[in-house]
Every structure is written in C-alpha cells, then in structure tokens.
Amino acid sequence: MEVTASFWIGFNVFVLLMLALDLGVFNRKAHVVSVKEALTWSAVWISLALVFNALVYYWFGEAKAIEFLTGYLIEKSLSIDNIFVFVLVFGYFQVPAIYQHKILFWGILGALVMRIIFIFAGVALIEKFHWTIYIFGAFLIYTGYKMFTEKGTTIDPENNPVMKFARRIMPVTNELHGDKFFVKVDGKKYATPLFLVLILIETTDLIFAVDSIPAILAITQDQFIVYTSNVFAILGLRSLYFALAHVVDRFVYLSYGLAIILVFVGSKMLLVDIFKIPTFISLLVIAMVLIFSIVLSFVKTRRDNRMNNQGQ
C-alpha cells in the first residue's frame, strides 16, 4: 500500500487533537507535574507509538514497521540529550516547576515545525544529490566522536549568541510575571525571562535536530516513516523530562552509548553503496547499545552510592 494524502491528513489531525487535549483539557491549569503523572503519560505516548507501529505493519508491511521502530528508538534515545539541556536551562533561570510544562509545550510545538522542515529538506537532498548521504554519514561519525571524547553537557546562556541578540532587540524584565511570555509595564511591552528560556529551548533543539534527522535518514528516506517516528518521539519528550529530571544525573554512560549509535548509523550511511546493513540488524544494535549503556550507568551510580555510604 502506498502513502496517500489521507494518511498524512489523518496523522496530522491526530497530532493536533492530542496537542489540543494536552493544553486545553489535561493541562488547562498550570500545575507541578508529578513523577507519577509523568510516568503515566510516558507510558501513554510509548503505547500510542507501538500501536501506530502495528498499524504501519498492517498497512505497509514488516520492513516499514521495522524502519519505524528503529527510527523511533533512535529519536527517543537521542532526545534524552534534550532532557539534560532542559534541566540545565530551567536550573540556570530558576524556572519554577509549575511553569515548566507550558514552556516545554510551546518549545516542542516549535520543534515539530523545525523537524518537518529538516526532514523534507534532508530527504529531498539525498534524492536529488545522492552523494550528500556521505556528508551526513561523515558528520554523524564526527558528532559521535565529539560526544565520546567530550565529557558532560554545559550551557552558558549569557554568552549564547541567540540570547544576546534577543536581549538586544527587545526589552526583558528582570523577574517572572507568572507564566506570561510578554507583559506591559508602563505602557511598554516587555519579554519575560520565560520567553528567553523558550528561545533557548528552541535553538538547542534545532542543534539536536542537526544530529537526529541525518541519523534516522540512515535508516530510511521514506518521508512518512521519518516524520511519524520523529513526531511520536518529540510528543513524548515532555512527559519523559518530568519522569527523568530527578534521576538524569544517573545516566553517566548514556552519552557514550549515544556516541556509539551515531558512529554506527554514520558508518551505515557511508557503506550504503557497498554493503547495505539490514534495518533489523540496525534495530538490534541500537537497542542493545542503548540498554547496555543504561544498565551500566545504574550499576555504576549504585556502586558509587554504596561506597559513599560506607565512607560515611
């Protein structure tokens, strides 16, 4: 079965409906998202992705279903890097937990738009200029190498060029005004620090998209599969943040696992005209690396905690 316009329309209607339910019904009032609520919503989004994966299998066959699942796993694992940034940004600006959901909602909505542009541009480039796949592959290997050799995630909002530009073109209040992005003071419109946080969230996601989109293009250039797997991963990112924010520091080896995944998919791109690695093998490799890095991380942190307790 071919992907027709009805598939695109139906999926986007579903996305808009879920976003409307999220903001207009379930999160109509600002509140602190509990770990239990976040875990529940994470389970909901993962379940929806798996249900959609089953529909892809029914509509388009086993190969496309494996491509979707592999792409979803790549995007989901790479999105954990976003969570590290969210923690740092919210901590730097001292954003109260009650306002974080609204920022992430609009931030993720903007991320969806940017990902759509990146996906269609990337697929079009590869289809028209096949050699660009080698550039994407080399870039992913380089990114993986940098991620493996550079320790820790750092962020300096004050020296961020986008933040500097934003402060230059608009006045910004020194304090928060509830969950508002803009306020009027003495008849003059000001941006609030929350708006600066939103800008920083959007720009960092743009940077992450530069890594994640080429990574999934190594698995498939089917626009519908790339788009839908990206959307499901991003829609579940907000709940994943609230579920993992308090334990994110325990994933000490995850960055190494993500680096290995990027090098692997980059190598897959470089070898595409010599030897095409089956998507099922890619799925197994990515899943095993991800699971192994997470398990090792928890083993190390548990051992370190035990040693610290014995030392006391």
Q: Identify the domain containing residue 101 by its residue range.
A: 35-152+209-304
Give the number of residues written for the chain. 312
Structural domain includes residue 164:
no
pLDDT, tens only, 94-120 = 888 888 888 888 888 888 888 888 888
Structural domain includes residue 179:
no
Structural domain includes residue 171:
no
Structural domain includes residue 110:
yes
Longest Cα separation, the chain: 67
Distance from the Cα of residue 145 to its chain's centroid: 20
Contact 32/97 with Cβ under 8 angstroms? yes
Provide the token pair at 296: 């090792």
The average confidence (pLDDT) of the chain is: 83
225 confidence band (pLDDT: 50, 70, 90): very high
10 confidence band (pLDDT: 50, 70, 90): very high
pLDDT, tens only, 245-293 = 777 777 788 888 888 888 988 898 888 888 888 888 888 988 898 889 8
Letter string b/e over residues 28-50, b meaning 16 or more CB atoms within 10 A of that residue's CB: eeeeebeeebbeebbeebbeebe
Model confidence, pTM: 0.81
- Cα–Cα distance measured from residue 265 to residue 74, given in angstroms and rounded to the nearest whole number: 10
Structural domain includes residue 49:
yes
> Per the structure, how many domains does the chain have?
1
Q: What is the pLDDT of residue 85?
A: 77
User: Does residue 312 register a pLDDT over 80?
Assistant: no
pLDDT, tens only, 285-311 = 888 988 898 889 888 888 877 777 776
- Cα–Cα distance measured from residue 33 to residue 21, given in angstroms and rounded to the nearest whole number: 16
Positive or negative torsion for Cα 69, 75, 77, 83: negative
Burial of 71 (0-12, 13-18, 19+ CB in 10 A): buried
Structural domain includes residue 192:
no
157 confidence band (pLDDT: 50, 70, 90): low
Burial of 148 (0-12, 13-18, 19+ CB in 10 A): middle
Structural domain includes residue 309:
no
Secondary element (H or E) of residue 190: strand 188-191
**Which of the residue ranges 7-21, 93-107, 141-155, 215-229 would you say has the lowest mean pLDDT?**
141-155
> Which spans in the chain are helix H?
5-21, 35-60, 62-92, 97-128, 132-149, 161-169, 193-217, 223-235, 237-244, 254-270, 279-311
Structural domain includes residue 106:
yes
